Amino acid sequence: MQNPAQIPARSVDPVLLQTNMTTAMLLWQRFVARLMVASSQNPQDAGEDNSFTTAIARWGVNLFLHPTAVMQANMELFKSQANLWQHTTARMFGLGHLSPGIPAITDRRFKHPAWQEHQFTEVLLQSYLNMSTYWRTLAQTANGLSEQDAKKAEFFINSMIDALAPNNYSHTNPQVWQSILDSNGENLVKGMQNLLDDFQDGQLRIRMTDMKAFELGRDIATTPGKVVFQNELLELIQYTPTTDKVRQRPVLIVPPWINKYYILDLREKNSFVKWSVAQGNTVFMISWVNPDSQHRKLSFEDYMQAAIAAMDAVEAATGERDLNLIGYCLGGTLTAATLAYLKACGDERVKSATFFTTLLDFAEPGEIGVFLSEKQINSLEKRMDKQGYLDGKDMGAAFNMLRSNDLIWSFFINLYLLGNDPMPFDLLYWNSDSTRMPAAMHSFYLRNMYLNNNLSKPNGITLSGTPIDLGKIDTPAYFVSTHDDHIAPWRSTYQGAKLFSGPVRFVLGQSGHIAGIVNPAAANKYGHWVNEELCADADDWLFEANKVDLSWWHDWDRWVAEFSSEEVEARIPGAGKLEVLGDAPGTYVRQKV
């Protein structure tokens, strides 16, 4: 079906328009009925976390203690609105050249020309922006509040401001008005059909992309390889070499299990795996199981032991005990904990370790911290106890809320107001292909990392009966973080890099948590900063750093080559002591939530 927003403009058919408007209303009523049934079947738990409402209440009371700040904000709002009405009046009488002027619209949500074409929408939009500034100013009036309450209140207020934007509603979005006229209301019918299709299991799951457009092994995760090892927690993929000679030491990648491994093997043009193989590396990838209720007792140390089992399997497949490790995000946190454990056990097989956007010091975890108080974790643990895991879609929703305009409202408008079909996009397909988190492991992770920051403390965590200390890790390490990362803020990852006692190279890429890492060397879309010194302060490091207008992949390849200077004949999967169990991408990655 052709997207309604792409249908060529045509004259309005009053009968067809009325028919479509009625149909859309009936579909809306059906959605509301389903929503009410779902609400009645899932009553709110009496023990449900109310941290945000409590924080907002405390913030509201706190405002009474700051009358000067409130008065100043009121005066700024009055001034902005007065300028707007003077501007509007001048335009009405054709005297726009005498207008005091209003700020230029730079918010990309309102880039459509229709927002400036109509005087009504200009007033509506500018009033919204003025009110947004007013409430954001008040949200930052937090003296007297705890840091946690202040951050929660500000996050809640900003979320409400974003939700109330006029572009999120059909009756205040001129782009939707135009689409209604152009399609005789077909966009609303299709939009309501999309809304009903996305309302599954009593919850609205907004489709970010066309989930039928891709197939694992066909369009994404296509780098040739074989599964050569499997246990309860992982499958190990050995990729087929594309060079006659390879570096002697193999590379083992430890991805996060919050999402699936193929973020590093999306398409041929942006696959880090394919590129790394082409540089002459023997690459192994862990593909984690997608846990369910039977895995509820899996612990963080179980994941660590599984990673060590994967190292043993790499040795069996290649005959090489020494190897280079790569850890991404949570996989990097596990990698660091594993290195500390191996160090305590006298195991020196890891000759270099690379960390992609990895938090090790959780003192300042970034925006995600608004969801991670003691009370919130208690509430989450009660939910996990019921099913044995945290549903990946619930976790994804929390991350999406941190960037609601980009990851919620933009799709809401496109799907439900404009009636468009979701566009096929490999990165969003991966983002929507979520995984679960075992209850025991996730509780340990949240409490020991985010809540108490024990990983950064010497002997603060004990794994498999062994206290671990990141400060004793002397393995050469390469940390790459990204400047705009809101999940693993780079200044926090920088503090983690300083915990090691061995040589550390820190590199800062442009862009965010995913795009800054999946930054193909052939495209060089984003550059990076380098500084040979690891300064005491992160901002000092950046101030003294040099900008390089290339992907950081080039820099990493030169660095890791230093730890594997010898070359050997290319290793074919299955030629070693491990038999081939199946083709990449394996079976675990195909398990759905």
- Please report the sign of the dihedral spanned by the C-alpha atoms of residue 151, residue 153, residue 158, residue 162: positive
Catalytic residue among 157, 286, 310, 329: 329
CA distance 47 to 459: 34
CA distance 498 to 105: 42
Rg value, the chain, Cα: 27
For residue 589, give the nearest of 264, 205, 252, 242 by alpha carbon. Answer: 264
Residue 262's H or E segment, with its range, is none
Report helix, strand or coil for 477. strand
User: Torsion over CA of 409, 411, 412 and 416, rounded to 10 degrees?
Assistant: 160
Contact indicator for 435, 330 with CB cutoff of 8 Å:
no
Q: Which residue has the tokens 């930052």?
A: 140
Q: Write the DSSP string, 197-252.
A: HHEETTEE----S-TTS--BTTTBS-S-EEEEEE-SSEEEEEEPP-SSEEESS-EE
Q: Write the DSSP string, 155-166.
A: HHHHHHHHHT-G
Contact indicator for 519, 486 with CB cutoff of 8 Å:
no
Report helix, strand or coil for 361. coil
For residue 79, give the nearest of 4, 137, 12, 18 by alpha carbon. Answer: 137
Contact indicator for 451, 293 with CB cutoff of 8 Å:
no
For residue 442, give the nearest of 220, 214, 191, 258 by alpha carbon. Answer: 258
Residue 420's H or E segment, with its range, is none
CA distance readout (Å), 154 to 179, 376, 485:
35, 17, 19
Q: Tell me if residue 329 is catalytic.
A: yes
CA–chain centroid gap for 454, Å, is 24
Point out the residues that are catalytic.
329
